[in-house]
Amino acid sequence: MMVLKKIICGDSRNMEELGKNTVDLVVTSPYYRNAIDYQNHIQKKWYRTSSKYSTREYITEMKIHFKEAYRVVKNGGICCVIIGNELDTEDGSIVPLPSYLTAMMTRSLKWKLQEEIIWYKVTGGKKRFKVTVKIPYPTYYYANILHENILIFRKGDKRHTRNEADRIILNDVAKKEVANSVWHIPPVPPNHIDHPCPFPEDLAYRLILLYSNKGETVLDNFNGSGTTTKVASKLKRDFVGYDMEKKYCRIARQRLKSELNLRMPLIPVWTKNKENLFSSFQVNGEV
């Protein structure tokens, strides 16, 4: 039986509450393979840590979750996955999780990759360039990691709708920012939400407006602090969120009562002077 407008403390590897072909859109960010120990965070212990299992084990786990997501998503439905590269704690090399996940989703499962967006966080991230500052010589260059990938997968054939009530507003933000494959959205400030890695409401807001209509059903199978379910509710969508941690489920339910927290969007603007070209950010009040 279909469950609407509900946050479920359960395992999304078996979403028995949801029927086959009942979900229109998935917006989710899987738990980190490395860097965060969620149990330690819940127990208010130091939660920055190294991985307890391999990349192969992680991708195998993701395959089970997204196979079940494929079952519940309608034909033509969309699955948006926010995921970033990680660092190997032993030798500092980059672990390309977005690439591994894409290969698994498109080869082992039947998802089709429709879009790939880069979420540029503008601030925060892993400050690796400090190594270069300390040792300013060739081969000691390490770039700061300020981005994650937003992978847009589709189930089956494309499905288009033209509901006048859901027409996309083509303002400056849409034309100069959303139109591009790089989105400039700052991360959630530290300690703003009692969760180690919530993603901004602005991300869910854009994805839900771009890939669903009012009254449709949005799922987050790694709901965490409930960003997707909150935004879906405010945008008049039905929603279902799954998470195994009771604390995070409580936070997600509480957030349903709060107002949207969207910040003024940043729009990159190229300005030409006599000497060079340089970029700057324009703050735009239109969302």
* Tens digit of each residue's pLDDT (9 = 90 or more) over 220-254: 999 999 999 999 999 999 999 999 999 999 999 99
Whether 37 shows a pLDDT value over 80: the answer reads no
Specify the fold of 6-262: Rossmann fold (3.40.50)
Sign, CA dihedral 237-171-179-266, equals: negative
pLDDT at 46: 45
149-176 mean pLDDT: 92
Residue type for 199, please?
F
| 132 token code pair | 């270069």
pLDDT at 287: 40
pLDDT at 194: 61
Whether 35 shows a pLDDT value over 50: the answer reads yes
Count the Cβ atoms, other than its own, within 10 Å of residue 16. Answer: 11
What percent of the chain has a predicted confidence (pLDDT) above 70?
85
- The residue written with tokens 């303002």 in the block is 171
pLDDT at 276: 60
CA distance 85 to 83: 7
pTM: 0.88
**First-to-last CA distance in the chain?**
36
CA distance 186 to 203: 10
pLDDT at 47: 46
14 Cβ contact list (under 8 Å, min separation 6): 68
- Taking phi first (over 0 means left), then psi (-120 to 50 degrees means alpha), and beta for anything else, what does residue 61 get? alpha
- The full set of domain ranges for the chain reads 6-262
pLDDT at 42: 52
CA distance 220 to 34: 21
201-214 mean pLDDT: 96
Whether 199 shows a pLDDT value over 70: the answer reads yes
Nearest alpha carbon to residue 80 among 149, 22, 145, 34: 149
pLDDT at 53: 74
Whether 43 shows a pLDDT value over 80: the answer reads no
Is residue 266 very low, low, confident or very high in pLDDT (cuts 50, 70, 90)? confident
pLDDT at 197: 66
Count the Cβ atoms, other than its own, within 10 Å of residue 191. Answer: 6
pLDDT at 127: 85
Q: In this predicted model, which residue has the larger pLDDT, 72 or 93?
A: 72
CA distance 159 to 76: 5
- pLDDT, averaged across the chain: 87
Sign, CA dihedral 179-180-184-188, equals: positive
192-210 mean pLDDT: 85
Across 6-15, 67-76, 123-132, least confident range: 123-132
> With the CA atoms of 236, 68, 226 and 10 taken in that order, what torsion angle do they form, in degrees rounded to the nearest 10?
120
